[in-house]
């Protein structure tokens, strides 16, 4: 087969989303989550995409022992009281997306060029169906079928031709299994690079950095069982009703056992107001359960200031677990001194709250023995994200809420195995302690120089220093900031490779050559020479369990992710007379238990991996299990953080991006966001009515939104503005539509996470054409 690369210059504009032509309606937000409509919505999505029989079989196997893990969020499954219907509305939508009966291949791509596909919405792209065979972008601007053999040959040839392994980047999405992630990072490091950016860089990297410094582990210390013993639960910068719906059942159980819940967020979301459990007939008929006892409408990026005000109020009333503080912590005196030097008036102005909020929250803390602090990307995607999370951890340390039943930090991760990917080594800057066991096990040499995270990988592609980009899942273009820059950077690569179940916008901004390689989905049967295979994943609370698909594959031309990585390694290292050929790539892909045997030997906490995977098991968590803190001083550390407010001019606002209810990450299931009362479209700006009046904007008026960083103006048009209950000076809009406004170089200190939750923008009436 003769492969003729396509000219790069014809594809630069493919990042632009088509203008929305649907009619948007914005009504009254819902006062509760769940209920009958959640059931109807879930089943309609599944049956429409999969059929009644296939859909029912899949739903009854999802999140069950012996079944497959939900391809959506990472919220844990209960151990003892698991329902026969252990899925939520959005989990059902995620299943419907990946297990659809619709398949696209040669005929579809002969008809549709990438220029045509780029003119369609993300929702349209996702609805076309599963990709049924490997694809190569040819000189006509159309993807066309390619054999797996030719695809691997092309990839291996390109990798061997690079002047340095540093010219290759291997990106990972959070849905990759432990086994695939392990092989993927092993392949990259044997090849010679630590360029292993992943979706953690875009979301919870700030959580890991903050917690590692403060308590010695980058994971939360809370288990699902802890919620039954908590007195007080904080939900900060998080919308569980849409992003982690099964969490609502956990919160409902906690409420029924007497816990109180405080939500801290610019938006008062339906999912934290009241919950009608779809699996409880009494809830469906009644009013459901009130979840939040108190909502704190903090300004965007005002959380740190609010936490410091609470901390000072607690100190003034002599609150604190002094025994815990003296024995297990360091930095307490410095923390106290810092809080007493802060200007409270300035802190109140930054958070947009008043004294009654602080007094009420502080009183609820004083009355609670065991406190859980949950948060998500509303805290992690700011310039001061790491410091903000550490300020929340200060409050937990102050009351001794680490290593206590019903207490601790609980970062709620997004994708279903994003935490497992990091445990397996998907990380751009691993330390010697992690790498040395690999060198012993496989008799190889691994580079020690840190690789690129997402932001720096984009910069390296844009500068021409990276020629090969491979993505194991995900939608890199739409998930990343500064969309136009990312598009240009991808175009500059010699070869872009996407392991993807469905078409997405990243495929439309290819390098000089481009491949799409379709894998088996998590819900599909995976049979290798040794028999049917299962994989494993780690949930948001450090529990490892198995996942085994039960559906027939949608196409005979799919390979498992493990097989794809193993074959790439075999083709790449085929003619090398080195230690790389000692790694049993074929054995790994033929029998996944062999991969787990190697994981057991190289990664702590996985002893008797195959044996324990028959059930599930918890990874070691020293702060939780024994109040041991793996920090340099072996203490849990209070931190001193300077509040640096986001500065805005009189005609500027702070924009935060968020997801709709018909969405998971970059996948758009539909054009409605029923909990917020938005229907029929996504290009909206939610603004305080007083801000609209001050800006002389009318409801549903077309506006242009622009940001200005580094003297570069980024603008988007075709948005409609609507009044909404959001703090003054703050506005909200959907991700990824507003990602082009996020500057690449503006990122969180230490974690390098993009500032997608605090973008300074201007909103003006759109000029008539």
pLDDT of residue 89: 84
pLDDT of residue 13: 53
Produce one character per residue of 532-559: b if its CB has 16 or more CB atoms within 10 Å, e if not: ebbbbbbbbbbbbbbbbbbbebbbebbb
pLDDT of residue 287: 81
pLDDT of residue 12: 46
**Contact status, residue 63 vs residue 306, Cβ threshold 8 Å:** no
Burial grade of 437 (CB within 10 A; 0-12, 13-18, 19 or more): middle
Distance from chain centroid for Cα 101? 26
Residues 489-513 pLDDT 10s? 999 999 999 999 999 999 999 999 9
pLDDT of residue 768: 63
**∠ CA 153-162-438, rounded to 5°:** 80
Q: Please state the domain extents for the chain.
A: 205-412
**Contact status, residue 637 vs residue 329, Cβ threshold 8 Å:** yes
Distance from chain centroid for Cα 490? 21
pLDDT of residue 321: 97
**Contact status, residue 578 vs residue 563, Cβ threshold 8 Å:** no
**How far apart (Å, rounded) are the C-alpha atoms in residues 635 and 413?**
25
Q: Within 10 A of 604 (CB to CB), how many other CB atoms are there? A: 12
Cα–Cα distance list, 376 to 199, 328, 569 (Å) = 14, 27, 36
Helical spans, DSSP H, in 330-384: 332-341, 344-351, 355-366, 377-380
**How far apart (Å, rounded) are the C-alpha atoms in residues 769 and 767?**
6
pLDDT of residue 1: 46
Architecture of domain 205-412: 3-Layer(aba) Sandwich (3.40)
Tokens of 42: 């879930």
The residue ranges of the chain whose pLDDT is under 50 are 1-2, 7-12
**How far apart (Å, rounded) are the C-alpha atoms in residues 50 and 60?**
14
pLDDT of residue 2: 47
Residue bearing tokens 């409609």: 720
DSSP-assigned beta bridge partners for residue 143: 137
Positive or negative CA dihedral for 121, 123, 128, 134?
positive
Tokens of 245: 């719906």
**Contact status, residue 157 vs residue 445, Cβ threshold 8 Å:** no
SS3 451: coil
């Amino acid at each position: 087969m003769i492969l003729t690369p396509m000219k790069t210059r014809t594809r630069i504009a493919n990042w632009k989303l088509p203008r929305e032509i649907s009619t948007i309606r914005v009504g009254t937000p819902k006062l509760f989550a769940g209920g009958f409509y959640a059931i109807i919505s879930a089943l309609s999505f599944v049956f429409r995409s999969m059929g009644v029989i296939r859909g029912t079989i899949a739903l009854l196997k999802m999140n069950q022992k012996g079944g497959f893990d939900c391809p959506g969020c990472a919220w844990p499954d209960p151990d003892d009281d698991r329902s026969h219907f252990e899925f939520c509305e959005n989990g059902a939508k995620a299943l419907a997306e990946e297990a659809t009966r619709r398949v696209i291949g040669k005929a579809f791509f002969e008809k549709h060029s990438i220029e045509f596909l780029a003119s369609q919405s993300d929702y349209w792209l996702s609805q076309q169906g599963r990709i049924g065979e490997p694809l190569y972008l040819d000189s006509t601007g159309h993807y066309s079928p390619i054999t797996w053999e030719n695809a691997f040959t092309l990839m291996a040839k390109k990798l061997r031709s690079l002047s340095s392994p540093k010219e290759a980047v291997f990106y990972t999405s959070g849905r990759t299994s432990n086994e695939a992630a392990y092989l993927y990072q092993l392949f990259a490091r044997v090849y010679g690079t630590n360029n292993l950016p992943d979706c953690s860089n875009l979301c919870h990297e700030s959580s890991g950095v903050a917690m590692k410094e403060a308590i010695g582990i980058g994971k939360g210390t809370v288990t699902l069982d802890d919620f039954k013993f908590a007195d007080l639960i904080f939900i900060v910068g998080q919308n569980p009703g849409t992003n982690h719906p099964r969490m609502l059942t956990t919160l409902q159980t906690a409420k029924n056992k007497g816990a109180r819940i405080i939500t801290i967020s610019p938006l008062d979301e339906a999912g934290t107001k009241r919950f009608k459990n779809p699996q409880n007939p009494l809830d469906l008929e009644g009013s459901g359960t009130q979840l939040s006892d108190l909502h704190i409408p903090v300004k965007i990026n005002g959380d740190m200031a609010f936490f410091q005000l609470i901390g000072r109020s607690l100190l003034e009333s002599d609150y604190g677990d002094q025994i815990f503080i003296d024995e297990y912590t360091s930095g307490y005196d410095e923390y106290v001194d810092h809080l007493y030097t802060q200007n409270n008036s300035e802190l109140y102005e930054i958070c947009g709250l008043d004294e009654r909020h602080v007094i009420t929250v502080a009183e609820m803390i004083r009355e609670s023995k065991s406190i859980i602090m949950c948060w998500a990307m509303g805290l992690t995607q700011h310039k001061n994200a790491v410091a903000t999370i550490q300020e929340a951890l200060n409050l937990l340390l102050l009351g001794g809420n680490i290593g206590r039943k019903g207490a601790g930090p609980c970062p709620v991760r997004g994708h279903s195995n994003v935490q497992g990917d990091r445990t397996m080594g998907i990380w751009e800057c691993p330390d010697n302690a992690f790498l040395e066991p690999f060198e012993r096990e496989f008799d190889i040499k691994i580079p020690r120089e840190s690789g690129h995270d997402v932001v720096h990988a984009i910069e390296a592609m844009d500068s021409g220093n990276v020629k090969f980009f491979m993505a194991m899942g995900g939608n890199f273009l739409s998930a990343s900031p500064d969309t136009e820059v990312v598009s240009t950077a991808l175009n500059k690569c010699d070869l872009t490779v996407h392991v993807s179940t469905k078409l997405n916008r990243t495929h439309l901004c290819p390098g000089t050559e481009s491949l799409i390689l379709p894998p088996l989905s998590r819900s599909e049967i995976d049979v290798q020479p040794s028999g049917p295979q299962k994989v494993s994943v780690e949930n948001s609370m450090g529990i490892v369990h198995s996942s085994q698909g039960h559906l027939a594959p949608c196409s005979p031309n799919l390979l498992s992710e493990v097989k794809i990585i193993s074959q790439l390694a075999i083709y790449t290292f085929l003619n090398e007379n080195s230690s790389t050929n000692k790694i049993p790539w074929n054995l790994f892909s033929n029998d996944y238990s062999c991969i787990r045997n190697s994981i057991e030997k190289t990664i702590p906490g996985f002893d008797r991996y195959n044996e324990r995977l028959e059930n599930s098991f918890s990874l070691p968590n020293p702060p939780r299990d024994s109040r041991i803190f793996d920090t340099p001083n072996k203490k849990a550390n209070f931190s001193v953080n300077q509040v640096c407010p986001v500065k805005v001019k009189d005609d500027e606002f702070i924009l935060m991006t968020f997801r709709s209810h018909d969405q998971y990450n970059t996948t758009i299931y539909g054009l409605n966001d029923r909990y917020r009362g938005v229907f029929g479209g996504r290009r909206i700006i939610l603004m305080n009515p007083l801000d609209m009046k001050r800006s002389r904007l009318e409801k549903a008026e077309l506006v242009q939104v622009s940001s200005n960083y580094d003297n570069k103006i980024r603008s988007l048009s075709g948005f409609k503005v609507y009044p909404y209950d959001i703090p003054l000076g703050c506005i909200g809009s959907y991700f990824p539509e507003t990602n082009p406004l996020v500057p690449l170089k503006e990122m969180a200190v230490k974690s390098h996470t993009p500032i997608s939750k605090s973008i300074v923008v201007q909103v003006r009436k759109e000029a008539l054409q």
